[in-house]
Structure 1
Amino acid sequence: MIEAWIREFARLVVAEAPRLTELDSAIGDADHGSNLSRGLTAVVAALDEGSFDDDAALLKKVGMVLVSTVGGASGPLYGTFFLRAAGALPGGVPSAFRAGVDGVAARGKSTTGEKTMLDALVPAVEALEAGKDWGEVLAAAEAGRDATVPLVARKGRASYLGERSAGHVDPGAASAALLVAAAASTLG
């Protein structure tokens, strides 16, 4: 199931890469979709080549590949998500998601409301921890993504735009919603 989740996330990102890049062109450096697509293509290649003792080892490999292949902030942030999730996976999927989200917050020194991927991830993990079904978890992530539109970015390249960053979906929140969508369709 974990491998299916990662493969579905890669498929969604590759399919949505032009849209993610378009979102990033409005408030960033127009490379979020292409960078993440490249990294997840490398992840799929690593999955095709390797065998893993368990799902935690697979997630660790995903994290390491993303850190080494994705430029900008996305590589370290998504890499941290999967590395931390790997360590917590024995406690179950909600524990893995929480560890991943907490890792992203610590790595990015950020919290919700700052127009980042956390705006989609935190509501999703809170719904998951509350025992909601995957449809509700995905709805929480998508609502969090959409709630980034009026926000002024406080972190990352978008923060350089100040007030001009308002009025746009955060590309990191958009890709994070795809991560949750992939989980909803494969882990649910």
Structure 2
Amino acid sequence: MAALRRWIDAFAGDVAEHQEELTRLDSAIGDADHGSNLARGMKAVLAALDSERPATAGALLKRTGMTLVSTVGGASGPLYGTFFLRMGTAAGEVESLDTAALGAALRAGVGGIVARGKSELGDKTMYDALAPAVDAYDAAGDEVGAALRAASDAADRGRDATIPLQARKGRASYLGERSVGHQDPGATSAALLLGAAARTLG
């Protein structure tokens, strides 16, 4: 429980720190609001968790997801919200998660993003960072720290791999070939999410 809260706190801090970068990336191929929207949403998450103090892993993750859905506009609110809601359902009403349970929860969260966004690998979305991350986590073995570091490294590579892609989903897809050469903002924030997990949950 405490580690999960540290993860949420760390992700919120990283989003705030990189808010301008995320907005700059989104201004090139999107609505120029990814950084500001996500920062506002994570600030609301911290306030909600402070006021409610959820007692289980599932409750903490679900409250995070519900807050993001209700406070963040655009695509990122529903997508990140669904991620945490699905994670919470998979985690269940327990106080801690072992390596396998955390991996199952992460995969359930990524599955929620696929269900919500209909994204596939190579579409130039956050899924390009998250899909290789959960695969790397599962392949890394039983030690949670090593698994999360592998996941974070894979997410970083997935983020970088969006640069030469032509977007096939979202606002960026309207640009056609002009979306090539730009790093996807959603994949960038997803890499921040895995980086925060590697620092706090390992």
Q: TM-score, normalised by structure 1?
A: 0.98
Structure 1 distance, partners of 2:68, 2:149, is 27
1:155 to partner: Cα distance? 0.4
How many pairs were matched up? 188
Q: CA deviation at 1:131?
A: 2.3
Question: How far 1:53 moved relative to its partner?
Answer: 2.1
The whole-number CA distance in structure 2 between the counterparts of 1:75 and 1:175 is: 12
Conservation of the 8 A alpha-carbon contact between 2:67 and 2:81: yes
Match of 2:97 in 1: none
Amino acid at match of 1:125: V
Q: Percent identity?
A: 62
Matched residue, 2:110: 101
Q: Distance in 2 between matches of 1:16 and 1:55?
A: 27
Give the whole-Å Cα distance in 1 for the aligned partners of 2:5 and 2:149: 20
Q: Secondary structure at the match of 1:150?
A: coil
User: Which runs of structure 1 show a deviation greater than 6 angstroms over 4 or more consecutive aligned residues?
Assistant: none
Is 1:35 matched with 2:44? Answer: no
1:159 and 2:168 are equivalent in the alignment: no
CA distance in 1, matches of 2:73, 2:82: 14
TM-score using structure 2 length: 0.91
User: Is the Cα–Cα contact under 8 Å of residues 3 and 55 in structure 1 kept in the other structure?
Assistant: no
Tell me which residue corresponds to 1:129: 138
Q: Displacement of 1:137 after TM fit?
A: 1.5
Q: Which residue of 1 aligns with 2:26?
A: 24
CA distance in 2, matches of 1:107, 1:88: 17
Counterpart selection for 2:152 from 134, 138, 146: 138
Which sections of structure 1, spanning at least 5 residues, go unmatched? none
Q: Which of 86, 99, 117 is equivalent to 2:126?
A: 117
Counterparts of 1:87 and 1:124 in 2: how far apart (Å)? 20
Instruction: Report the Cα distance in structure 1 between the residues aligned to 2:76 and 2:195, rounded to whole angstroms.
Output: 18
Q: Which AA in structure 2 matches 1:135?
A: R
- Give CA-to-partner distance per residue, 1:28-66, whole Å, 9 cap, x none: 010000000000000011111112120110000000000
Asked whether the 8 Å contact 2:24–2:32 carries over to 1, the reply is: yes
Structure 1 position 65 matched with structure 2 position 67: yes
Unpaired runs of 5+ residues, structure 2, are: 93-99
Q: 2: CA distance between counterparts of 1:131 and 1:89?
A: 20
**Is the 8 Å Cα contact of residues 162 and 182 (structure 2) preserved in structure 1?**
yes
SS of residue paired to 1:92:
helix
Tell me, in whole angstroms, the C-alpha distance in 1 between the residues paired with 2:75 and 2:37: 10
Measure how far apart 1:89 and its partner are.
1.4
